[in-house]
Amino acid sequence: MTEKQPKAPEPISGPISTVIESPEPWKRVVKAIIDRAHFDQEYTNRLKKAAKSHQKPGFRKGRTPRAIVEKEMGDLIRSETVEALVPKAWMSALLEHKLSPVSDPSLENLDFGEEGPLKFDLVVEVRPEIELGDIDALAIKRREITTTDEDIDQILERLRESRAEYEKVERAAAEDDQILLDLVPAGPEGDFPEDGKIPDQRFILGSANNMPAFNEELVGCEAGQEKTVTVDYPEDHPNESLKGRSMAFQCLIREVSAKKLPDLDDEFAGAVAEDKTLEELRGDIRADVEKENAKRIEQEMDRQVQEELVKRHDVSLPPSMVSRYLASGLEDMHKRNAQMGRPDSEDEDKEYLEAGKPHAETAIKAMLLLEAVRGQEDIKVTAEDVDERIEQMALENGFDVDRYKEFVNSGEEKERIEYDLLERRTYDFLLSRAEIETVPADTDVFGEKE
């Protein structure tokens, strides 16, 4: 038995009528018909207006016979009339059919003869309508993370490193030592001109920020020694003038200093966090680590919710939504390049767009599905919820509550906080109905799902 296709709605009566076709979930074709009498009236009005300002030799301004004006300007006025009526038809379709466009409409299949109505199509991309399927029992893995004493020790050691001091020593330089030197780059003739000297340069030997040649060649040098170091710059070096070049530097070692770490005691703790003992500092660090671990696990579970929703639903996306998502990411990448002094690259851009497309599609599908869940389950936040969250954020960050509220209300920050609350409640709702399995801390929760 052949399934009957739904009959297209009949055009409404009136000067402008529109019918919608949906060839794709994300695509709408507005088939517009403009009554000939309505077009002719618009055309006549424009012709009259043109005749008032028309000036032709032998006639006073505005007195040129309309037939002559029409002969000279008729085609132009007809085109202008069509251009004026197309936006009216589009607005009529928006209001009548409650479209949610995500792109500007494109004009296609213009049909206009000497007689009969003006016909054309307006093709536009819209937000796809989401039909939710089963959203219960999503398979989610929660990693079990515990904070150990070793974790705290590592953080304390990094804090000691950040507060290290350097004391001058009379010996050869070793890794982790700091050396003070003057650099003289080689000139065009291979010599080392004194006027090119770059004084007072400090290197921490072994640092990843140094070119490898300096780390290798300057170990073992002593104060007062001169050494020539040749640096081979890579082809992808951000400085165009140095890409792929080899350059020699004459290095005059002036001082060698050894690293001295502070003792791990109450005095050190008080310097890191005022009035804290070492035991209290360890407790604060543990609390921060546990908070960060909990946040990381929450983010992992949220991402799994997204992926599980996308797996269960067939969502067809408007190409323009994907393109805009990728264009935004590309713009951010270009800003980072500018901050680092790196030039943009067409090959890098192409690679980004190709590699980023699957992620963009998943992210947009997940966003649409989460919105559909909120609509279906009537998940909302109130103004009181938002105000409570703003106050909580102020207290967490040590801000004056009233001033922070004033800041939030002065821009778009309040909308972002409201959206974050909505999104959090949506994830929490789905997780409350999910099948959550606790797994060891070293589990790759995403790798196992692929």
Topology (CATH level 3) of domain 165-260: Chitinase A; domain 3 (3.10.50)
Please write the tens of the pLDDT for every residue from 157-178: 999 999 999 999 999 999 999 9
Determine the pLDDT at residue 46. 86
CA distance 250 to 185: 6
Determine the pLDDT at residue 50. 78
Nearest to 192, CA basis, from 250, 252, 245, 242:
250
Question: Which residues, at least 6 apart from 128, have a Cβ–Cβ distance to it below 8 Å?
Answer: 25, 26, 315, 316, 317, 318, 368
CA distance 237 to 242: 7
Q: Which helix (H) or strand (E) is 299 found in, with range? A: helix 278-312
The CATH 3.30.70.1050 portion of the chain extends over 16-125
CA distance 33 to 17: 5
Determine the pLDDT at residue 161. 92
Nearest to 94, CA basis, from 154, 18, 155, 41:
18
How many residues does this entry show for the chain? 450
Query: What is the CATH number that goes with domain 16-125?
Result: 3.30.70.1050
CA distance 368 to 315: 9
3-state secondary structure of 374: helix
Question: Which residues, at least 6 apart from 88, have a Cβ–Cβ distance to it below 8 Å?
Answer: 16
The CATH 3.10.50.40 portion of the chain extends over 165-260
C-beta separation of 51 from 69 below 8 A: yes
DSSP letter at 5 equals P
CA distance 433 to 376: 15
For residue 371, CA distances in Å to 47, 130, 131, 422 come to 50, 9, 11, 9
CA distance 39 to 319: 34
Question: Which residues, at least 6 apart from 108, have a Cβ–Cβ distance to it below 8 Å?
Answer: 120, 121, 122, 123
Torsion angle of the four alpha carbons 262, 263, 269, 271, in this order, in degrees rounded to the nearest 10: -30
Which overall architecture, per CATH, does domain 268-316+357-449 show? Orthogonal Bundle (1.10)
Determine the pLDDT at residue 448. 54
CA distance 386 to 95: 32
- Encoded tokens for 314: 């067939």
CA distance 392 to 257: 47
Give the CB-side neighbour count of residue 414, counting CA atoms within 13 A. Answer: 16
Q: Write out residues in the chain with pLDDT < 50, as ranges.
A: 1-12, 450
Rg for the chain (alpha carbons), in Å?
35
Determine the pLDDT at residue 123. 96
Give the CB-side neighbour count of residue 375, counting CA atoms within 13 A. Answer: 10
CA distance 398 to 392: 10
Determine the pLDDT at residue 55. 65
> Whole-number mean pLDDT of the chain?
89
Determine the pLDDT at residue 2. 40
Determine the pLDDT at residue 6. 43
Determine the pLDDT at residue 11. 47
